[in-house]
Amino acid sequence: MVRSAPKAPAQEGRLPRVIARRYEVTKEIARGGCAVVLEARDMRLGRLVAIKMPKPGMSDDSATERLTREARVAAGIHHPNVCTVTDAGWIDDRNPYLVMERLYGETLGAYVSRLGRLDADEAIEICLQTLSGLSASHALGVVHRDLKPDNIYLVHREGCAPIVKLLDFGLCRGTENTGNDELTLTRVGTVVGTPEYMAPEQASGYRTFDARIDVWAVGVVLYEILTGTRAFVAENVSAVLNAVLAKSLPSLRRLRPELPSELEQVLAKAMDRDPRRRFRSAVEMQAALLRVRAKLARTSSVVLRADHEENDPWVPEQELPTRLMAGGHGHRR
């Protein structure tokens, strides 16, 4: 992101009314631990956008670094399943801002909290789109590193399945394949991310990891949205990390016996504690989920056909002569 010359500092603790003489702030959309997301009107193009910036009054250098990193990385990922970044700059010498497309919908976390566990088709569709967005990120040598339901946004559409948008690349880092660790915020022995969705190699504090940590996180998300319960829950961060490293999860089919064994096998491979036995890439996990979805579709088709034949008295025209010759009247007995 190109840094512009410093401007007059924003008033302490107050949100700006106009940013960069172009974006007129209309309301606050969301607020997190270190950032706030605002709705604003782009006065040049006449459209609504979302602007992410550090919370007013915050002087945390790491929060500023996360936001500038997110601008730099997300702006380079051009994919329908990644929230588009359209502009970035500095409000003043310490406060960067990030302009994104304005999304309408809810996070996957809010969606599951509202509706409970999802059926297999919907859960698979959400994960397929998530993996598609991750594959674009991984192709650029960038690992998300903080994938979780609150960073998966569902853009609702009338009469269609939601579009998944990945949010918050502020904790991303370069993969080991790039040989570039310029994007990391970690130091040796420290842990960065959301503990419940960390891969074991993250939870152990190792710096050497690759895109398979995002594959693990997709597996954890898939387990959660299918069962309606978090995979790893404990009283404190240390206990959560210990659970990630050692806890045995209840079998998916014990909780959802109607689901196919192939789906449980996908989960087991995505969440293998040994990354060498995990799916090697987001694309590979996608292919496995597509096979499961195809089987579900075939099974559903057979069930629907059997139900139709059992309950529908209508007889196809080509069967009528045979039925009539046998003394029937064109209806099932």
Distance of CA 35 to the CA centre of its chain: 19
CA distances from 187 to 158, 202, 207 (A): 46, 12, 8
Round to whole Å and give the CA distance between 55 and 75: 21
Query: Length of the chain in residues, anyone?
Result: 333
Among 201, 155, 175, 168, CA closest to 282: 175
Round to whole Å and give the CA distance between 268 and 119: 19
Strand extents, DSSP E, 34-190: 35-42, 47-54, 85-90, 96-101, 105-107, 142-143, 152-157, 160-166, 173-174
Round to whole Å and give the CA distance between 91 and 97: 7
Among 265, 287, 289, CA closest to 277: 265
Q: Is 214 a catalytic residue?
A: no
Among 282, 254, 255, CA closest to 266: 282
Residues 6+ apart with CB under 8 A from 149: 107, 108, 109, 112, 221, 224, 225
Phi-psi region of 34 (alpha: psi -120 to 50; beta: other; left: phi over 0): alpha
The residue from 87, 146, 168, 272 that is catalytic is 146
Round to whole Å and give the CA distance between 88 and 276: 38
Query: Which residues are marked as active site?
Result: 146
